[in-house]
Amino acid sequence: MPTDEETLALLRRIPLFAALDEQELQRFAQTTHGHAFKRGEILFQKGDPAEGFFFLVAGQVKLVLLAADGHEKVVELIQPGMSFGEAVMLIGRPYPAYAEALGAGRALYIPRAGLIEAVRSNPDFSLRLLAGLSARMHALVREIEELSTQNALQRVVGYLVGERVEQAADAVDLPASKAVIASRLNLTPETFSRVLHTLQERALIRVSGRRIELLDVAGLRACNG
Amino acid sequence: MPTDEETLALLRRIPLFAALDEQELQRFAQTTHGHAFKRGEILFQKGDPAEGFFFLVAGQVKLVLLAADGHEKVVELIQPGMSFGEAVMLIGRPYPAYAEALGAGRALYIPRAGLIEAVRSNPDFSLRLLAGLSARMHALVREIEELSTQNALQRVVGYLVGERVEQAADAVDLPASKAVIASRLNLTPETFSRVLHTLQERALIRVSGRRIELLDVAGLRACNG
DNA sequence: CGGGCACCTTGACAGCCATCAAGACGCGCG
DNA sequence: CGCGCGTCTTGATGGCTGTCAAGGTGCCCG
């Protein structure tokens, strides 16, 4: 069967795969499936067996924890170029969250077997995978820290300042609806709205729709630590 | 320099090192340092460079997050036989928490270089390391889930039922003071005490000091999910 | 233009839990 | 035995933030 040139090009863009040579990439390409989805589609349910991981090519995906009483919490917002599900796949446990598309998009599904094979044959690949997982663990620890030691205002400020660094500008464009961002910060939409209002009153930010101008970054930083 | 036989024996007990042969173990033993500590000693501070990881031989260690306002949160209670600090070491960032001994004990400090070398030369070791990190990530995600979707009573019940499984008995011996356990569950000691009282009133548990008998596991489970 | 609809805001209220304060309990030690 | 100290409990109070409810705004589409 002929190797899909486009799939190959996409795999090359995955940071994790930077250490692979052409032949190794082709092996991955043979088991990789593309998957186009539309808004609201569920990529996997909580509890589904994790036999591979995803690489998001286009669109947005939210990873959502589902509590017993129906409460939901967005753990992560996946943007194009990011992968998700690697860790769960490696221990062979079912997904602890479900993944829902926020809009139409496209993802690659890369089965587990190829990964194990690559770890066995390419130490540089192993190191890169380890580094990626470690970075994500670090982020999780930070999230636990923020959840357990910061209040609503501090979490919002922390998020805004963090996004500012990523977007390299003094205005932040929220990458999703305020309700989704609120959940990501473990807030209700109401509280999120109120906090933004407060910050605006203090002349620290200016809100217009999903665009938030940071008027006084130093003042913002002073809000938490 | 002569290889320390005792260090070697300890390294053999580390689950992560099960895939190593005798020669590889000896390489590790040459750079590994033993470290005896007493109660209250700080093994590393938040912000210290992480150039190795620890394996706890004896005693207890708590990993503590420190907020800007001085608030503390115990992220993890390390018991003998557990290792900690691997992930942070791999990305070369400073420790995000500090480690304090709850009592006298002993740990091994295993520098980073040996690990990288072992990953390069032994794929089985890589896989084991990956599996270990993934399992810990899974636990972190669970903790985020519990922090963000459960109330105090549910977290306590979840902890007790979880400990029961580990200790394989219908009574749980708290592995540390109630204040430490409370912090681990993101509660104040006061709230923890009150929750235990409530559970006792409902005839679900019986508390005597640090020993907690689980009288009605089904009833306990009914409290959360 | 006007209805419908998602998204967001605002207000009133309540509950959970932290905080502060004081007292009880256990335990080692002089 | 009685003191001192750390650990734990119990009570009163308040604040943060979730919940419920209603209203506002923008936007697409007929």
Per-residue pLDDT tens digits of chain A, which is 225 residues long? 446 788 999 999 999 999 899 999 999 999 999 999 999 999 999 999 999 999 999 999 999 998 877 788 999 999 999 999 999 999 989 999 999 999 999 999 999 999 999 999 999 999 999 999 999 999 999 999 999 999 999 999 999 999 998 888 899 999 999 999 999 999 999 999 999 999 999 999 999 999 999 999 999 999 987
Q: Is A130 on the interface with B (CB under 8 A)?
A: yes
Nearest-Cα distance to chain B for A1, in Å, is 30
Is residue A82 a contact partner of residue A39, using CB atoms and an 8 Å limit?
no
Query: Which residues of chain B register pLDDT less than 50?
Result: 1-2
Distance between CA atoms of residues A34 and A51, nearest Å: 15
Q: Is the CB of A179 under 7 A from strand D?
A: no
Q: Can you tell me which residue has its alpha carbon closest to the C1' of nucleotide C6?
A: A177
Q: Tens digits of per-residue pLDDT, A150-160?
A: 999 999 999 99
Contacts of A149 in chain B (CB under 8 A): 65, 67, 69, 71, 73
DSSP B54: E
Distance between CA atoms of residues B75 and B97, nearest Å: 8
Report the SS3 class of residue A125: helix
DSSP A9: H
Distance between CA atoms of residues A29 and A20, nearest Å: 12
Give the strands of the sheet with B98-101, arranged side by side: B42-44, B98-101, B61-66, B72-78
Q: Is A116 on the interface with B (CB under 8 A)?
A: yes
Beta-ladder partners of B35: B107
B81 phi-psi bin (left φ>0, alpha ψ -120 to 50, beta other): left
| DSSP state letters, B113-181 | HHHHHHHHH-HHHHHHHHHHHHHHHHHHHHHHHHHHH--HHHHHHHHHHHHHHHHTSSEEE-SS-HHHH
Distance between CA atoms of residues A102 and A100, nearest Å: 6
Distance between CA atoms of residues B175 and B178, nearest Å: 9
Give the strands of the sheet with A61-66, arranged side by side: A42-44, A98-101, A61-66, A72-78
Distance between CA atoms of residues B32 and B114, nearest Å: 9
Taking the model in full, what pTM does it have? 0.93
Structure tokens of A118? 């690559």
Q: In Å, what is the separation between the CA of B158 and the C1' of C20?
A: 29
Nearest-Cα distance to chain B for A85, in Å, is 10
